[in-house]
Amino acid sequence: MDLLWTISTALLLCSLLSILWKESDRRRNRNCYLLDFVCYKPSDDRKLSTELCSDIIARNKRLSVPDYKFLLKAVVNSGISEETYGPRSIIEGREECPTHDDCVDEVDDCMYRTLDQLFLRTGVSPIDVDVLVVNVSMFAPSPSLTSRIVNRYSMREDVKTFSLAGMGCSASPIAIDLVNNIFKTRKRTLAVVVTSESIAPNWYCGTDKSMMLGNCLFRSGGCSFMLTNDPSLRHRAKMSLKCLVRAHIGADDDAYSCAIQKEDDEGRVGFHLSKSLPKAAVRAFAENLQRLAPKVLPVGELALYAVRGLRHRLWRSKEAKTDAATAARVNFKSGVDHFCLHTGGAAVIDAVGRALGLAKYDVEPARMTLHRWGNTSASSLWYVLGYMEAKKRLRRKDRVLMLSFGAGFKCNSCLWEVLRDLNDGGAWEDCIRAYPPQTLVNPFMEKFRWVKEA
């Protein structure tokens, strides 16, 4: 009897230990680590100087003086410098009739140059990649862009590939979410994500002001980054994903149509940005933060916010309302050290900064990224992160919030924890000492003042 009891007890303990081990192993493999990232830096012959931009604008014979004035105002207020890049098809005067090869070459140069560096920096062979994700919203050839990469780097036959199109500027967190969900079902997995945008086939040559704005803001750029859930690689990783929140308000017609690709009255395709976009952005932003706050803020800050809100409801006097208006804002800086904001434009950065109660120091990475690189769509977050790293701001245990907006309309965010002190210059290496510059004044106003006075 004693022997039977001993055997039963031993079997029970073994079973419990096995369950605990499996649960521990499952939890360890549910992590998502950022091993490294490489931002794309095109060649200098693709820089868009003031003179070159004026030549490109002048080639559009449909534009009138009022159109020139509108473009001048948009460019001057954009926060973009003369150091940004464009595709060769536009620089060489083929913006109205880009070939398929123009579009492919533009994307290929970004993908292959960043991937070559990424594999070199991480020491990971392409054949070891288990998951490949490519997000380019406005160009989807066949075979797919993922197939081009698989062919170029001779990847394994069982590599899982995903091509994300139409996701817009918020595609990076979407790709991360996709990979993170895969990690929950696969142990020790390596994933590579390539994020970029194709400008060549999407340049607008008409006169609709809502579509001309895109030409002023969007620039060539991209990034490749590597993720893993392998706990043995944690010591090599830069950051660890803590949480990710996605908000999609596309059920609302105004939100859905505020940023959309369509034809103008003359049949020319462009990307329409409507006057209802700010309203949609605010709503999506609020939806995202409402779910994000409990995940990133300390209990004390959440309790303080709840008390302020309760007081505001109980005491409706003018004094109480005024106090609530100034004090009820959530202090996100109590749970976040650095903010990677989407570089949708100077006004977007400033508006998000005000909503989050950020200081000039906090929005500096986004403003400088917009100045140096322009709006590079979904990859812009990585240039902002690169600025922080080049400035040696990122230290172990710091928490970094990425926040992006995209057509649909979407607002996506993800919180990372820095695992070690970071100081790589990356794409900013040759210019980081010049930032922030003494002035962000755009040279267009000085060189083309006659347009304003015409």
Q: Is the pLDDT of residue 163 over 80?
A: yes
CA atoms within 13 A on the CB side of 79: 20
> Residue 32: which pLDDT band, with cuts at 50, 70 and 90?
very high
Look at residues 148, 98, 159 and name the one whose alpha carbon lies nearest to residue 125. Answer: 159
Q: Is the pLDDT of residue 12 over 80?
A: no
E strand map for 126-233: 131-136, 160-164, 190-196, 222-228
Q: Facing residues of 375 across strands?
A: 218
Find the length of the chain: 454
Q: What DSSP letter does each residue of 4-19 carry, written as one string?
A: HHHHHHHHHHHHHHHH
Q: What does pTM read for this prediction?
A: 0.89
Give phi and psi for 240, each to the nearest 5.
Answer: -125, 135
> Residue 322: which pLDDT band, with cuts at 50, 70 and 90?
very low
pLDDT tens for 261-296 read 999 889 999 999 988 888 899 899 999 998 998 999
Contact partners, residue 116, CB within 8 Å, separation at least 6: none
- Which residue type sits at 321? K
Please tell me the predicted confidence (pLDDT) of residue 408. Answer: 87
DSSP state for residue 38 in the 8-state scheme? E
Q: What DSSP letter does each residue of 300-339 carry, written as one string?
A: HHHHHHHHHHHHHHH--SHHHHHHHHHH-S--GGGT-SEE
Number of H helices, E strands in the chain: 17, 11
DSSP state for residue 344 in the 8-state scheme? S
CA atoms within 13 A on the CB side of 338: 25
- Residues labelled as active-site residues: 169, 248, 338, 342, 371, 375
Residue 3 burial by Cβ neighbours in a 10 Å radius (0-12, 13-18, 19+): exposed
> Residue 18: which pLDDT band, with cuts at 50, 70 and 90?
low
Please tell me the predicted confidence (pLDDT) of residue 63. Answer: 86
Helices (H), 204-276: 209-217, 253-257
Q: Taking residues 165-174, what's their average pLDDT?
A: 92
Q: What DSSP letter does each residue of 362-379 carry, written as one string?
A: HHHHHHHHHHHH-B-GGG
Look at residues 396, 342, 347 and name the one whose alpha carbon lies nearest to residue 369. Answer: 342
Q: Distance between CA atoms of 222 and 8, rounded to whole angstroms?
A: 60
